[in-house]
Each structure stands twice: as structure tokens, then as C-alpha cells.
């Protein structure tokens, strides 16, 4: 099999501010795997939080490309993927597995969700993120999103003054009274303030809160969840399978991102691990194109909460095929991942 890499800049339609940073753009590195005239594609995006810049992604994906070249076909390569590839960044493993699944699906004439055991194309109402901003801007954005069909909104929190977060959520609730609300402080609350804040947001009708306190103390997160008036979802404290094992049954949800756990196979193993434990699955994502989000959409029927809006944050998505503009993402019935290049002009390729 032959592999090639290309990189484009994914610029956000507007800056996204969260408790620890503000994002305006990412680089997306595409891995394309060719075999007998068919191509499979996967994507990895840069992340300061996970320590992956463009150069690092290229180095890791070049290394993976050399390994893939030794396999006779994508099916053999998929079967050889280790369950716990701790020596490779999970985002790279996820991109490799996604490209192989895309190619294997095209060779078999089947969409990826069928390769992963689902008989019908998954669809899900996706959350749409509202960053840290003024209450008036958040309310205006919430109104527009609700009018377009979004039924789930995720509000970022973790402002220096928690009253700012409360005002923002109150404004969103008033502007879109019929939507489900999720809250994500990205670990921005102190352990002492979190119990009181959880109570206040429960009164505002928030459905669940992701990673309220700083990661690094999963035992503390579990204790907080045990006395929380609303569901607590682990995100930054639940990266690997072992993290999920430690928290299963002790938090109300785990946010599984393919770039964080290592791909669709790893996500399915975590889903099986927590099934029946009292901990539900959330599917999340980084800001990425439709190519990067599509593999998770093919798993969306497994999740209680779906937050797959990374492609919707972009000024220009170079790929298309999973929808989401109306609040619902849909796995394609086309072979492979079911995405294809957008008809709009593609962003210029970036040199690593």
C-alpha cells in the first residue's frame, strides 16, 4: 500500500474561547492510503493541549506510513493494529485506523458503520458549542442555532468570575428554552467551588457538566460526581482505556474522543467496558473537518450524548458528507467513511 500526506489550515469561523485558551485555527494532516486504485483517508489535527504540532504529526504519520507499506492490503493492516498502542500518539493511531477503515469499506462496498457492527446508518442530535462570550452574544447565537434545528447546546464555562458563566447560561436558556443544555468548564473550577456551582447550574436546567475540575485527580472527580445534583462527565481525566476502567461506575459519563483514545476500535472497547456500569458514553471531538469527524459519526448510535460539531465551527470545511448544519449528524450509506471533498475551493496546502 502507498501512503501520502497533505496538510491544510482549518480556520474557525470565529475564535472559540474556553477556560484555558482561545482557538482560531488548527492544521489538519491528511493520511491517504492507496491500494489497487482505491484511496482511504484519515485526519489528525494539531493540538497544543495534547502536544502535537504539525511537524510532530508529520513525523509520526510518516513512521506509520512506512509500517503500512509492509502490509498487502488494508484488511490485514487493520487486523494487525494493536489494542493498546501506547508508543504512538492516539491522534495518529486514530487517523491510521480511520484511513484503513475508509479503504476497507470502499473495497467491500460497505459503509464503515457496517464494518463496525451497526446495520443501519447512525444519526444523532449533536451539541453545538457556544464559547465563553458575553451573555447577549451567547443568547443571539443560541436563538440562531435553535431556529436552524439544534436541540442540544453546549456552553463553555470556566470564566474567572463564575457569575459570568451563570449569566451566560441563563441568557442561553431564556433565548432557547426548548434545548437541552450541556456545560463544559474544561477543568476551570476549583474543587471547593464546584459543588456549589453544580447546584446552581442544576437549578438553571443544565443536563450534564463535563470535567468541572482540573484533571489529574480522578478520585476527586469521582467523589464530586457521587454528590452532584446533575450528571458529571469525565473528559480530560478519561483519556485511555485504563482511565475509563478507573472511573467506570463512578462518574455519570465519559467523553470519548477518537483523537484522545486512539480510534474507533479503542472507542468501542471503552463503550463495552462501561456498558451497564452506570457510566454513559459521550462522543466528543476536536475542531476538525468532516473527514476527521466522520469516523465518530459512524459510532453515534452508541452514545447518550453526542458532541460532534468540530466541522461546524469552521469557516470552510474542505470535506462534506456527514451533515450537521440542522443539528443532526448522519453517517453516510456510501462505502467507507462516506465523505468527499467539498465543492467549494479547498484551502491551500500547508508545508510542514
Per DSSP, the three-state class of 122 is: coil
37: left (phi over 0), alpha (psi -120 to 50) or beta: left
Q: Please, how many CA atoms are within 13 Å of residue 157, restricted to the half-sphere of its CB?
A: 35
301: left (phi over 0), alpha (psi -120 to 50) or beta: alpha
Helix axes 162-175, 194-203, angle to 10 degrees: 20
User: Higher model confidence: residue 87 or residue 107?
Assistant: 107
User: Grid coordinates in use for 183?
Assistant: 456545560
Residue 136 has pLDDT above 70, yes or no: yes
pLDDT at position 23 is: 94
Q: What is the DSSP annotation of 268-313? A: HHHHHHHTTTT-EEEEE--S--HHHHHHHHTTGGG-SEE---GGGG
Supply the pLDDT for residue 128: 98
Q: Report the distance separating Cα 346 and Cα 350, nearest Å.
A: 12
Q: Strand 305-306 relative to strand 280-284: parallel, antiparallel, unpaired?
A: parallel
Instruction: State the pLDDT at residue 207.
Output: 98
Q: Is the pLDDT of residue 347 over 80?
A: no
The pLDDT assigned to 346 comes to: 67
Q: Assess whether pLDDT exceeds 80 at residue 312.
A: yes
Amino acid at each position: 500500500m502507498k501512503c501520502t500526506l497533505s496538510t491544510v489550515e482549518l480556520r474557525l469561523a470565529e475564535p472559540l474561547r474556553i477556560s484555558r485558551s482561545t482557538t482560531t485555527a488548527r492544521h489538519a494532516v491528511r493520511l491517504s492510503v492507496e491500494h489497487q486504485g482505491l484511496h482511504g483517508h484519515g485526519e489528525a489535527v494539531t493540538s497544543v493541549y495534547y502536544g502535537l504540532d504539525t511537524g510532530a504529526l508529520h513525523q509520526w504519520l510518516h513512521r506509520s506510513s512506512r509500517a503500512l507499506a509492509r502490509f498487502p492490503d488494508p484488511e490485514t493492516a487493520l487486523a494487525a493494529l494493536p489494542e493498546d498502542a501506547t508508543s504512538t500518539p492516539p491522534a495518529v493511531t486514530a487517523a491510521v485506523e480511520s484511513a484503513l477503515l475508509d479503504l476497507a469499506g470502499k473495497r467491500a462496498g460497505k459503509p464503515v458503520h457496517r464494518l463496525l457492527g451497526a446495520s443501519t446508518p447512525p444519526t444523532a442530535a449533536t451539541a453545538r458549542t457556544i464559547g465563553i462570550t458575553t451573555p447577549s452574544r451567547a443568547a443571539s447565537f443560541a436563538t440562531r442555532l435553535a431556529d436552524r434545528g439544534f436541540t442540544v447546546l453546549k456552553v463553555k464555562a470556566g470564566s474567572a468570575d463564575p457569575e459570568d458563566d451563570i449569566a451566560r447560561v441563563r441568557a442561553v436558556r431564556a433565548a432557547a428554552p426548548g434545548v437541552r443544555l450541556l456545560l463544559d468548564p474544561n477543568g476551570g473550577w476549583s474543587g471547593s467551588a464546584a459543588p456549589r456551582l453544580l447546584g446552581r447550574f442544576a437549578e438553571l436546567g443544565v443536563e450534564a457538566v463535563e470535567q468541572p475540575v482540573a484533571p489529574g485527580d480522578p478520585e476527586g472527580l469521582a467523589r464530586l460526581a457521587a454528590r452532584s445534583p446533575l450528571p458529571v462527565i469525565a473528559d480530560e481525566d478519561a483519556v485511555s482505556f485504563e482511565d475509563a476502567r478507573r472511573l467506570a461506575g463512578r462518574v455519570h459519563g465519559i467523553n470519548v474522543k477518537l483523537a484522545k483514545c486512539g480510534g474507533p476500535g479503542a472507542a468501542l472497547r471503552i463503550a463495552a467496558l462501561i456498558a451497564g456500569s452506570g457510566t454513559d458514553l459521550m462522543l466528543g471531538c476536536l475542531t476538525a473537518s468532516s473527514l476527521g469527524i466522520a469516523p465518530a459519526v459512524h459510532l453515534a448510535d452508541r452514545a447518550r450524548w453526542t458532541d460532534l460539531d468540530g466541522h461546524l465551527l469552521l469557516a470552510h470545511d474542505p470535506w462534506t458528507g456527514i451533515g450537521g448544519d440542522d443539528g443532526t449528524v448522519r453517517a453516510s450509506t456510501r462505502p467507507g467513511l462516506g465523505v468527499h471533498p467539498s465543492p467549494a475551493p479547498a484551502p491551500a496546502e500547508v508545508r510542514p
